[in-house]
Amino acid sequence: MYSRKCGRLFYGFCTEIKTLRAINAKGATAPEIARRVLSSWTVCKHQRHQLLQRQPPDNRLHAGSVRQASHTTLDPEEARKFQSLADKWWDLQGAFAALHSMNDLRVPFIRDNLLSVHGSGVPGRPLAGLRILDVGCGGGLLTEPLGRLGAEVLGIDPVEDSIRTAELHTSHDPELRGRVHYRACTLEELAQSEGEDGDGGGGSVTEGFDAVVASEVVEHLADLDIFAACCHQVLKPGGSLFITTINKTNLSYALGIVAAEQLLRIVPSGTHDWEKFISPVDLERLLESSGFQVESIRGMMFNPLSGFWSWTQSTPMNYALHATKRSEEPGRNRAESQEMEQETLTRAAAV
Ligand SMILES: C[S@@+](CC[C@H](N)C(=O)[O-])C[C@H]1O[C@@H](n2cnc3c(N)ncnc32)[C@H](O)[C@@H]1O
Instruction: Tell me the C-alpha to C-alpha distance, in Å, between residue 321 and each of 246, 253, 302.
Output: 11, 20, 17
pLDDT band at 26 (very low <50, low <70, confident <90, very high): very low
- Backbone φ and ψ of 155, nearest 5°: -100, 130
Task: Tell me the residue length of the chain.
Answer: 351
- Residue 158 Cβ < 6 Å to ligand 1: yes
Please choose, from the candidates 219, 227, 270, the residue with its C-alpha nearest in 3D space to the C-alpha of residue 245.
219
For residue 138, which atom of ligand 1 is closest to its CA?
Answer: 27
Q: Is the pLDDT of residue 191 over 50?
A: yes
- Which residue has the least CA distance to atom 5 on ligand 1? 137
Q: Is the pLDDT of residue 351 over 60?
A: no
Q: For residue 75, report the distance from its CA to the centre of ligand 1, in Å.
A: 11
pLDDT band at 345 (very low <50, low <70, confident <90, very high): low
- Residue 209 Cβ < 6 Å to ligand 1: no
Q: Is the pLDDT of residue 176 over 60?
A: yes
Q: For residue 143, report the distance from its CA to the centre of ligand 1, in Å.
A: 12
- Residue by residue, DSSP assigns 174-240 as GGGTTTEEEEES-HHHHHHHHHHHS--SSS--TT-EEEEEEES-GGG-S-HHHHHHHHHHHEEEEEE
For residue 222, which atom of ligand 1 is closest to its CA?
Answer: 19
In whole angstroms, what is the distance from residue 293 CA to residue 295 CA? 6
Of the listed ranges 10-14, 112-116, 181-185, the one predicted with least confidence = 10-14
Please choose, from the candidates 256, 222, 246, the residue with its C-alpha nearest in 3D space to the C-alpha of residue 20.
256
The stretch 230-253 carries a mean pLDDT of 95
In whole angstroms, what is the distance from residue 128 CA to residue 49 CA? 52
- Residue 341 Cβ < 6 Å to ligand 1: no
- Residue 136 Cβ < 6 Å to ligand 1: yes
Give the CATH number of domain 71-350.
Answer: 3.40.50.150
In whole angstroms, what is the distance from residue 201 CA to residue 198 CA? 9
Of 153, 186, 217, best ligand 1 pocket probe by most atoms within 8 Å of the beta carbon: 217
Of 157, 215, 246, best ligand 1 pocket probe by most atoms within 8 Å of the beta carbon: 157
**Inter-axis angle of helices 4-14 and 280-288, to 10 degrees?**
130
Domain map (residue ranges) of the chain: 1-61, 71-350
Q: For residue 14, report the distance from its CA to the centre of ligand 1, in Å.
A: 25
In whole angstroms, what is the distance from residue 176 CA to residue 144 CA? 7
Q: Is the pLDDT of residue 38 over 90?
A: no
59 near 65, Cβ under 8 Å? Answer: yes
- 324 residue type, one letter: T
Q: Is the pLDDT of residue 271 over 90?
A: no
Strand, coil or helix: what is 125? strand
Q: For residue 26, report the distance from its CA to the centre of ligand 1, in Å.
A: 30
Instruction: State residue 108's pLDDT score.
Output: 98
Please choose, from the candidates 198, 229, 225, the residue with its C-alpha nearest in 3D space to the C-alpha of residue 212.
229
The stretch 37-51 carries a mean pLDDT of 33
Of 96, 104, 220, best ligand 1 pocket probe by most atoms within 8 Å of the beta carbon: 220
In whole angstroms, what is the distance from residue 348 CA to residue 6 CA? 33
In whole angstroms, what is the distance from residue 83 CA to residue 348 CA? 23
In whole angstroms, what is the distance from residue 326 CA to residue 231 CA? 12
325 near 308, Cβ under 8 Å? Answer: no
Quick one: CA dihedral 285, 290, 296, 301, positive or negative?
A: negative
In whole angstroms, what is the distance from residue 101 CA to residue 88 CA? 15
